[in-house]
Amino acid sequence: MANPSFLFRHRTRLGVVFRYLLGTVLVVALTACSKVTAESSGPSSAAPTLGAASGSPMVQRRTVAVLAGGCFWGMEEILRQIPGVLETQVGYAGGSVSNPSYEDVSSGRSGHAEAVRVVFDENVLGYRQLLADWFFRMHDPTTRNRQGNDVGTQYRSAIFVADETQRQVAESVIRELDRSGKFDAPIVTSIEKAGPFTPAEDYHQDYLQKHPGGYTCHYLREWT
């Protein structure tokens, strides 16, 4: 007959081993469950799509316009503040001399106009809107080769178009404004094919930011 104390000790050891094994199984099961829950509720590993969800960044539709309407200092200061405009740079467009200097252009012999190269986001600002709501309001397009006290072909009103689509939009806007009666005389803005754009000297860039209160003859006209 087995010793009772021996049987008691044996059953005790079996109970300890059983509880240990049961605890290990429960821990493994709970860990696996937690992992599955975390993976199913966590962020997706798929790359986000731009503009797909509210609040996500939208891809910019960068477009370039080159506009002339008198001294480029005042034009740039207005253009740079328009919602949707990303970059502005003043320079020279529409002439026959390569890499003209300010002296070449101001002489009137190079054929260039003082112009502003505008980079804008068409998701925010359309080309038609840029012309109709801003460009034609900031200068007088009815005076040939003149803005305020600035006289010469370098101060002409001009739109330098990059392609046929821009040309058609510019022609359409001019027709509509001529019919609107907003101006007392016909618009004389020239529509010219865009050629090389030569950036102006550094001291001309952001001129009115560097010299607040400096010379300008540009302002936004109030239209009804």
Domain assignment present for 107 = yes
Domain around 18: 1-39
Closest by Cα among 216, 201, 122 to 169: 122
Summarize pLDDT for 123-140 with one digit per residue, the tens: 999 999 999 999 999 999
pLDDT at residue 150 tops 90: yes
Based on the fold, state whether residues 175 and 115 are members of the same structural domain: yes
User: Per-residue confidence at 147, pLDDT binned at 50, 70, 90?
Assistant: very high
Distances (CA, A) of 153 to 63, 97, 142, 163: 27, 14, 14, 23
Q: How many structural domains does the chain have?
A: 2
Based on the fold, state whether residues 115 and 206 are members of the same structural domain: yes
Based on the fold, state whether residues 110 and 21 are members of the same structural domain: no
Domain assignment present for 192 = yes
Q: Which amino acid is at 138?
A: M
- Range name among 5-14, 95-104, 137-146 with the lowest pLDDT average: 5-14
Give me the pLDDT at residue 7, please.
39
Based on the fold, state whether residues 75 and 114 are members of the same structural domain: yes
pLDDT at residue 112 tops 60: yes
Domain assignment present for 195 = yes
Active site residue 71: yes
Q: Single out the catalytic residue among 65, 71, 75, 132.
A: 71
Average pLDDT over residues 69-94: 97
Summarize pLDDT for 34-80 with one digit per residue, the tens: 443 333 333 333 332 223 333 446 788 999 999 999 999 999 999 99
Distances (CA, A) of 171 to 53, 191, 194: 38, 8, 15
Based on the fold, state whether residues 106 and 160 are members of the same structural domain: yes
Instruction: Provide the sign of the torsion angle of the four alpha carbons 206, 212, 215, 218, taken in this order.
Output: positive
- Residue 151 CA, chain-centre distance (Å), reads 33
Average pLDDT over residues 190-205: 97
Domain assignment present for 215 = no
Give me the pLDDT at residue 223, please.
75
Domain assignment present for 219 = no
Domain assignment present for 92 = yes
Residue 35: both structure tokens together: 């992992």
